[in-house]
Amino acid sequence: MVTPTCELVRIQTQDNLELQGLLYKPKIKTDKILIHIHALIGNFYENLFIDYIAKEVVSKGFAFLTYNNRGAGILGEFIKKEKTKRTHIQSGGSVEKFEDCIMDVGAGIDFAAKKGYDSVVLEGHSLGCQKIAYYRSETKDKRVKKMVFLAPVNDIAYVKRVLGEKYNEFLNIAKKLKNEGKGNELIPKEMAFYPMMTVDKYLDFVDPTTEHGKVLDYSGSLKCLKKINCPSLAIFGSDDDYEDQPEKTLSFLKNKFSWDTELVCNADHWFFGKEIKLSKLISSGITKL
């Protein structure tokens, strides 16, 4: 397979945050693009499957855009550009506000449109799944023609398994800390399941009443998914590290929403070692959708 040409890009959000990424372009002009949104504390390049997906979809006539959002890494400095002024703010997966994903996802789609790509397939991995679903349901952006969900984990169910009988106790402690004005402080170490989470971020992740919590809570109303209203493909690895019954979840999504679904045997949450299989499922899937 021929390696596609790519360029480093800088994408500016509505609130003037700069997000860096890579744009892969096919040789033949196209208006079609697959836009990838990374997972919690991830980034636009670390997962090996990015290389394979980029090459595969470009060979099928799609451009491919992968870029950081404000949840990249645990905590880091992001450039904020306002006219001629450049400042730095702290953001990252441990402190980001979930609802800000609308600005981050929208910025990527706007950037692509300015490049001539206005037929968008929106792809998310892990937490990126909640972000793309929330974006599409809230904005009804008609440029998004299709969606791909890679490992759409129910975070509420995952946290309940991890915390066990301590779940309700820790949730109440976090709510108490927020009510005391300590939302920006780090959660107590004994409550942590991810590094350096603030109280606000912790609640965002474990409280089933938050926007993040509601998106893929498969025991809930799933109002967000009901509003997506475009062809979608969901893919899980059979050995996903965060979803205990991936095959059952795929069956649920297929029956409930008529999504296309694929199970990659012996693949983990990052599809390590199964990148070729994954990339081909995606390329054939988005063509069929």
What are the sequence ranges of the domains in the chain?
Answer: 5-154+219-288, 155-215
pLDDT in tens, 164-189: 999 999 999 999 999 999 999 999 99
Q: Which residues, in sequence order, are CB contacts of 229 under 8 Å at separation 6+?
A: 140
- How many whole angstroms separate alpha carbon 111 and alpha carbon 89? 22
Q: Which residues, in sequence order, are CB contacts of 192 under 8 Å at separation 6+?
A: none
Q: Which residues, in sequence order, are CB contacts of 259 under 8 Å at separation 6+?
A: 149, 232, 233, 234, 253
Task: For domain 5-154+219-288, give the CATH superfamily.
Answer: Alpha/Beta hydrolase fold, catalytic domain (3.40.50.1820)
pLDDT in tens, 84-143: 788 988 899 999 999 999 999 999 999 999 999 999 999 999 999 999 999 999 999 999
Query: Quick check: 1 pLDDT over 70?
Result: no
pLDDT in tens, 16-71: 999 999 999 999 999 999 999 999 999 999 999 999 999 999 999 999 999 999 99
Contact status, residue 140 vs residue 153, Cβ threshold 8 Å: no
